[in-house]
Amino acid sequence: MSGTAREFVEGETALLRDAVGEPRSRAVRSRAYDVAFHAAPAFRRRLSVPGTVGQARGLHEQLIAQLSRPRHTDQALAAQSAELAATILRSTL
């Protein structure tokens, strides 16, 4: 059985809402981060012009920076890109 990245992210988000206590909350956030991070490169490849890396270091930071600051002319796709970056960042809190 396989699911889409969106299904996994939505599932992890629901689990996070229902997580009771710090250990469960951390475990769910970790899984949500992994799902979102592994879905992000496929999404970034859909962008004709990925965002800039800026001062970001490391693969994770660079990917999040590119998604956060898309240079795409399609505003809907740019908004999706920024939202994906925000989702990844929220999962680290």
Q: Give the residue extent of every domain in the chain.
A: 5-90
Task: Supply the pLDDT for residue 5.
Answer: 64
| Stated pTM of the model | 0.59
Helix (H, G, I), strand (E, B) or coil at 68: helix
pLDDT at position 75, please?
Answer: 80
Position 1 scores a pLDDT of 42
So what's the pLDDT on residue 43?
Answer: 75
- The reported pLDDT for the residue numbered 92 is 64
Burial of 52: CB neighbours in 10 Å, binned 0-12, 13-18, 19+: middle
Q: What is the Cβ-side half-sphere exposure of residue 76, based on CA atoms within 13 angstroms?
A: 0
Interval 29-75: pLDDT, tens: 777 777 777 777 777 777 777 778 888 888 888 888 888 887 767 78
